[in-house]
A and B are shown apart, each in its own frame.
Chain A
Amino acid sequence: MNFVITVLTLTVRFSAALLIASLGEMFNQRSGIFNLGCEGIMCMGAFMGMLIPFSYAGAEAVPFYINLLGLLGGLASGIVLGLFFGLIVITFRAPQGIAGIGLQMLGVGIAGTLFRSYIGGTQSISGISSFDIPLLSQIPVVGKIFFTHNPIVYIAYLMVPLASYIIFKTPWGMKVRAVGTNPRAADSLGINVNRIRYQALATGGAMAGLAGAFLTLCQAKMFNADIISGRGFIAVALVYFGHWKPSRIMFGAILFTFAQTLQTQIQIFVPSFKYYEFLNMLPYVLVIAVLAISRESNKLGPSALGKPFNREMRT
């Protein structure tokens, strides 16, 4: 029983980063841009989340607003990288898949270099701690699973209905969906396709950066260059899995994190099992398997995904 509760509690806690990043990627893809560089943006965000509190007080405890500044720093670096990606794929119309791989390497590379020159080696920070919500956390089983987390975890889950509302109810969301599905139609109605795509990339970048900063500040409380370990790529896959719908993306994020947590807990509980690489691999295989069997219904997705827009190009 304890094992089950531990796995579920950690699932809720650890799914937050993945959830924020994949909701961000949903905005990218809804606007027609496929950002494989999510991993790189997250890495840069994670580094900012380390840099700001560390340069204030090293490993010592810092005031909450400094940690908050760390999160904002991650978010801001994400916006910058998102807009930079936009410059490449929107303005210069570079192929998105290739540019995305480049962005991933760029983000990881810059973060790694800066980390070594400013911080040196592995250092820990105090970070933002989890706390128990009074009363609610006292409920047996459920209380532990749901109400003993970091404030950012709750914010991540609140982002699901919020993202859903933004994408389906607001004028901006409507425009994002239109430019991702039929940019010519949006253009003919006087909507600036490229501007909306830049905005969506900035939004997605901000969320990926925030997710990265969350990883260092709230989850690992340290930074190293492979802290993201494929979460950015999983985020891209989850958007497909979730058919570009926030609620289904949340389900995917929980499913993946559950598999991930389960396998790490098995490693802890059964230390005699030799082939831990095999266990490490399993959650990723799960994602591939689920993507392979879930039939794509393209009718409701962004059908212009991956295609640069050029008004004077005749089709």
Chain B
Amino acid sequence: MQNEKDQITNLRLEHITKRFPGVLACDDISLEIGKSEVLALVGENGAGKTTLMNIIMGLYQPDSGSIFINGQEVHLKTPNDAFDCGIGMVHQQYMLVPNMTVLENIALGMKDCWKTAKVDLKLVRDRIKEVSEKYGLAVDPDAFIWQLSVGEQQRVELVKTLCLGARFLILDEPTSALTPQETDELIVLLKRMSEELSIIFISHKLQEVAALSNKVAILRHGAVVFQGNTAEHSTSDIAALMTGHEVKLPENTEPPCQGEDALVIKDLCVKSDRGFMALDHLSLSVRNGEILGIAGVSGNGQRELAESITGLRRTSGGTITAFGDEIQNHTPNHIIRHGIGYIPEERNTEGIVPSMSIKENIILKDSSQSRFCSHTFLKQKYIAQYAENLRQRFDIRCPGINTAAGSLSGGNIQKVILAREIDRKPRFLVCVYPIRGLDLGAAEFIHKKLLELRKSGVGVLLISEELDELMNLSDRIAVIFKGQIQKTLDRKDATRRSLGILMAGVKDEKQL
């Protein structure tokens, strides 16, 4: 094991292979990271990036291969071994205990503060202070984790990792849940930290890769297909290597649309789960054949907006009119029959029933309609044909339509939902974070389908945090802040800067 103070000047992986039942997650991977280097590890979902990092952390054991630190072979059997070597990881799903304070969460990993009868919280507090000051990472040690925003939680994760003595950082998709501002701040911070530490970070977002890393490695199907210096390659080259083909995210280039109003919301007031006003007299309208983007930092009422349109949440004031009829506080079934489709935020829990098969999930909204059902019996043959047809058209990659939907990757689950919602021929679609956590290939496909839907004259309400997604697809972009629409911009007026400022709550740029 390494001495506490030793810098990690070199970490080398040689021929790492790891199999899961039925999957070759890592296929003979060799990588090397030197002093103060930042290596970006990119690849599609399921390419084996997270598995590889979990092997370095001692959470998984490789089937074969070895790991060397500063030229010496190490055997990492548990996370403790990795900590002892000075390796720390910020996982994609934050590894924090929500009902404990920041202080306690950090104390959980700091063995030197575990006195026999008591946790020495003062020691932890001092260590946090030291780390916070050194790296400019402010955290409130006495806050409970559940009280913190996602961005703050990530800062706690970073502080935790540093407090535990990490001199080598692994970050698994650190920006996937952050707002654009938080992402920018994180990149600045990591750049500063990389002067003293080596960093491996996993990302889908190629701009970040370009901004932060000096080396890049691309994984596909568990194998390294490319390694090189970031500066020598353009982001489109990297995208092509990552997916195996040229990727160009589709853009909406059509002129602003002039259709009739499909959905009109007036003075909508809705309470959040915690009882405060999540939507406060919000008004907006979407035309047929128009994509209206809703930009905003999550938690500003997006969830409540989507749920009140789809009938999943009671409203306390105002009206929602779809095609001339008021639909607020009607049952979800009524609203579905009224022609409103929904791609929900939580695809695993709200979008599908994970334990049911793909074909069952596909007919979930119409299982009692005469199309799929006669005299209370399901028309199994027809359903199978129908599902098979959708599987091909929507390129759902799965062993078969009888596979449990929950066993698919995120991108394929989203395609199942998309197939169901689009093929029901909705008159209007509510679409929430459709490509969150998906890789480029899947994102490209979903964007294409949304644009096709628009072209066929369907109005779409697109809620997203990804500014590129909004600017590529929307005809108009409305910025939501604290439950109200700050301002609605036409696509031609929307820039990252103007949206970012509105999202931060500033209505008029001149105020800055």
Q: In the complex, how many residues of chain B place their beta carbon closer than 8 angstroms to a beta carbon of chain A? A: 31
CB distance from B166 to the nearest CB of A (A): 12
Q: Which residues of B contact A175 (CB under 8 A)?
A: 108
Is B78 touching A190 in the complex (CB atoms < 8 A)?
yes
Residues 153-181 of A at the B interface (beta carbon under 8 Å): 169-171, 174-175, 177-178, 181
Q: Which residues of B contact A170 (CB under 8 A)?
A: 117-119
Is A177 touching B97 in the complex (CB atoms < 8 A)?
yes
Is B99 touching A181 in the complex (CB atoms < 8 A)?
yes
Task: Decide if A59 is an interface residue (CB 8 Å cutoff).
Answer: no
Is A299 touching B146 in the complex (CB atoms < 8 A)?
yes
The number of inter-chain residue pairs (CB within 8 angstroms) is 73
Is B104 touching A299 in the complex (CB atoms < 8 A)?
no
What string of 1s and 0s marks CB contacts (under 8 Å) between B93-115 and chain A?
Answer: 11111111000110111000111
Closest to A192 in B: B78
Q: Which residues of A contact B118 (CB under 8 A)?
A: 169-171
Task: Decide if B20 is an interface residue (CB 8 Å cutoff).
Answer: yes
Q: Which residues of A contact B78 (CB under 8 A)?
A: 190
Is B119 touching A181 in the complex (CB atoms < 8 A)?
no
Task: Decide if A285 is an interface residue (CB 8 Å cutoff).
Answer: no
Is A188 touching B114 in the complex (CB atoms < 8 A)?
no
Enumerate the 10 nearest inter-chain pairs by beta-carbon distance, A residue then B residue, closest first.
A190-B80, A171-B114, A185-B95, A189-B109, A190-B79, A188-B95, A182-B97, A300-B99, A181-B97, A178-B97
User: Is chain A's interface secondary structure helix, strand, loop, or mixed overall?
Assistant: helix
Cross-interface CB contact of A178 among B60, B100, B113, cutoff 8 Å: B100
Most buried by B among A170, A171, A175: A171
Is B108 touching A186 in the complex (CB atoms < 8 A)?
yes
Closest to B121 in A: A169
> Please, how many angstroms separate the alpha-carbon atoms of A174 and B93 in the complex?
21
Is A190 touching B98 in the complex (CB atoms < 8 A)?
no
Q: Known contacts A178-B108, A181-B98, A181-B100: does B91 contact A188 (CB below 8 Å)?
A: yes
> Please, how many angstroms separate the alpha-carbon atoms of A300 and B97 in the complex?
10
Is B20 touching A187 in the complex (CB atoms < 8 A)?
no
Q: Which residues of A contact B146 (CB under 8 A)?
A: 299
Task: Decide if A184 is an interface residue (CB 8 Å cutoff).
Answer: yes
Task: Decide if A226 is an interface residue (CB 8 Å cutoff).
Answer: no
Excluding A174-B100, A184-B93, 8 further A-B contacts by CB distance (< 8 Å) are A170-B118, A171-B113, A174-B119, A177-B97, A187-B79, A189-B95, A190-B80, A303-B98
Closest to A185 in B: B95
What string of 1s and 0s marks CB contacts (under 8 Å) between B49-70 and chain A?
Answer: 0000000010110000000000
Task: Decide if A191 is an interface residue (CB 8 Å cutoff).
Answer: yes
* Listed A/B pairs (21) with beta-carbon separation below 8 Å: A169-B119, A171-B114, A174-B100, A174-B107, A174-B119, A177-B100, A178-B108, A181-B98, A181-B100, A184-B93, A184-B95, A185-B97, A185-B108, A187-B79, A188-B57, A188-B95, A189-B79, A189-B95, A189-B109, A299-B99, A301-B99
Task: Decide if A93 is an interface residue (CB 8 Å cutoff).
Answer: no
Closest to A169 in B: B118
Task: Decide if A312 is an interface residue (CB 8 Å cutoff).
Answer: yes
Cross-interface CB contact of A312 among B60, B80, B115, B164, cutoff 8 Å: B60
Q: Which residues of B contact A302 (CB under 8 A)?
A: 99
Task: Decide if B481 is an interface residue (CB 8 Å cutoff).
Answer: no
Task: Decide if A311 is an interface residue (CB 8 Å cutoff).
Answer: yes
> Please, how many angstroms separate the alpha-carbon atoms of A62 and B26 in the complex?
68
Closest to A312 in B: B60
What string of 1s and 0s marks CB contacts (under 8 Å) between A57-91 and chain B?
Answer: 00000000000000000000000000000000000
Q: Which residues of B contact A191 (CB under 8 A)?
A: 108
Task: Decide if B89 is an interface residue (CB 8 Å cutoff).
Answer: yes
Task: Decide if B428 is an interface residue (CB 8 Å cutoff).
Answer: no
Most buried by A among B60, B96, B113, B164: B96
Q: Interface range on chain A: under 10, 10 to 19, 20 to 34, or 35 or more? A: 20 to 34
Is A177 touching B109 in the complex (CB atoms < 8 A)?
no
Is A188 touching B59 in the complex (CB atoms < 8 A)?
yes
Q: Which residues of A contact B99 (CB under 8 A)?
A: 177, 181, 299-303
> Please, how many angstroms separate the alpha-carbon atoms of A191 and B97 in the complex?
13
> Please, how many angstroms separate the alpha-carbon atoms of A181 and B96 in the complex?
9
Is B107 touching A182 in the complex (CB atoms < 8 A)?
no
Is A182 touching B109 in the complex (CB atoms < 8 A)?
no
> Please, how many angstroms separate the alpha-carbon atoms of A184 and B59 in the complex?
10
Q: Which residues of A contact B80 (CB under 8 A)?
A: 190
Q: Known contacts A170-B117, A178-B108, A312-B60: does B97 contact A190 (CB below 8 Å)?
A: no
Closest to A171 in B: B114
What string of 1s and 0s marks CB contacts (under 8 Å) between A186-225 and chain B?
Answer: 1111110000000000000000000000000000000000
Cross-interface CB contact of B108 among A189, A301, A303, cutoff 8 Å: A189
Task: Decide if B168 is an interface residue (CB 8 Å cutoff).
Answer: no
Closest to A304 in B: B97
CB distance from B118 to the nearest CB of A (A): 6
CB distance from A285 to the nearest CB of B (A): 31
Q: Which residues of B contact A187 (CB under 8 A)?
A: 59, 79
Most buried by B among A184, A188, A303: A188
Residues 246-287 of B at the A interface (beta carbon under 8 Å): none
> Please, how many angstroms separate the alpha-carbon atoms of A228 and B405 in the complex?
46
CB distance from B193 to the nearest CB of A (A): 20
CB distance from B114 to the nearest CB of A (A): 4
> Please, how many angstroms separate the alpha-carbon atoms of A174 and B106 in the complex?
11
Is A171 touching B79 in the complex (CB atoms < 8 A)?
no
CB distance from B112 to the nearest CB of A (A): 11
What string of 1s and 0s marks CB contacts (under 8 Å) between A275-313 and chain B?
Answer: 000000000000000000000000111110000000110
Q: Which residues of B contact A312 (CB under 8 A)?
A: 20, 60
Task: Decide if B342 is an interface residue (CB 8 Å cutoff).
Answer: no
Is B97 touching A188 in the complex (CB atoms < 8 A)?
no
